[in-house]
């Protein structure tokens, strides 16, 4: 068996299956009104932090991707539940003389990319699965727009998504100080839209 990563095997028993899977992935789109997406776009346009509440797998992330593409904005998705508080408060970087210059708090790469772009959508996903210490660190990002030693541009919009604690993996209730900083929108799914999507629309 070849170990060359560029080597491709000749068509075999799975070739027909792969062809079928490829055909199933083809889809078409059609215009449709979406009041939820319109409400989200309105809040984002007003530069208000938005929190989308909904069950897992009903299109919260897909809605953000669609909105970012429609607005022509870069989208940075950060899974809040898999980060540490220091990922939002900044990582200490020791310089040559910390007693004189102090220890700066370096921002993560996503914050640097948004700052360089000067605008964009910052999407914190799985917020209700983030432990209280991470939620506390996120408060400064949402309230003061500060990530470590970096201040996000005013044109960076902040959106988050959360599952109800009853359906979140190891879910937590949001702390009142963090919850109060968001406009809360319920995100639900339309069964007819799901059925049409499964049919390729």
Neighbour tally for 85: CB within 10 Å:
16
Q: How confident is the model at residue 8 (pLDDT cuts 50, 70, 90)?
A: low
Query: Where is pLDDT greater, at 4 or 172?
Result: 172
Query: Where is pLDDT greater, at 141 or 31?
Result: 141
Instruction: Please tell me the distance from the alpha carbon of residue 176 to that of residue 71, in angstroms, as a whole number.
Output: 31
Instruction: Please tell me the distance from the alpha carbon of residue 102 to that of residue 96, in angstroms, as a whole number.
Output: 10
Instruction: Please tell me the distance from the alpha carbon of residue 102 to that of residue 87, in angstroms, as a whole number.
Output: 19
Look at residues 20, 66, 56 and name the one whose alpha carbon lies nearest to residue 165. Answer: 56
Instruction: Please tell me the distance from the alpha carbon of residue 48 to that of residue 34, in angstroms, as a whole number.
Output: 20
In the block, residue with structure tokens 């370096």 = 106
> Tens digit of pLDDT for each residue in 125-157?
999 888 899 999 999 999 999 998 899 999 999
Inform me whether the pLDDT recorded for 174 exceeds 60.
yes
* pLDDT at site 1: 45
Instruction: Please tell me the distance from the alpha carbon of residue 56 to that of residue 81, in angstroms, as a whole number.
Output: 14
Q: Which tokens go with 100?
A: 């004189």
> Tens digit of pLDDT for each residue in 150-163?
999 999 999 999 98
Inform me whether the pLDDT recorded for 196 exceeds 60.
yes
* pLDDT at site 2: 45
Inform me whether the pLDDT recorded for 90 exceeds 50.
yes
CATH number of 42-85+105-198: 3.40.50.300
């Amino acid at each position: 068996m070849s170990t060359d990563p560029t080597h491709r095997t000749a068509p075999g028993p799975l070739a027909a299956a792969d062809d079928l899977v490829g055909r199933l992935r083809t889809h078409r789109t059609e215009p449709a009104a979406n009041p939820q997406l319109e409400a989200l776009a309105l809040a984002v346009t007003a530069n208000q932090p938005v929190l989308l509440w909904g069950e897992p797998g009903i299109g919260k992330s897909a809605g953000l991707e669609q909105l970012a593409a429609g607005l022509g904005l870069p989208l940075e998705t950060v899974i809040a539940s898999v980060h540490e508080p220091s990922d939002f408060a900044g990582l200490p970087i020791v310089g040559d003389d910390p007693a004189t210059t102090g220890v700066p708090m370096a921002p993560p790469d996503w914050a640097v990319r948004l700052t360089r772009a000067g605008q964009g959508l910052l999407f914190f996903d799985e917020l209700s699965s983030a432990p209280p210490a991470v939620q506390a660190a996120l408060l400064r990002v949402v309230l003061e727009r500060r990530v470590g030693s970096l201040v996000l541009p005013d044109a960076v919009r902040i959106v988050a998504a959360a599952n109800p604690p009853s359906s979140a993996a190891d879910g937590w209730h949001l702390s009142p100080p963090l919850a109060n900083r968001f406009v809360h929108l319920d995100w639900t799914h339309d069964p007819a839209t799901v059925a049409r999507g499964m049919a390729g629309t």
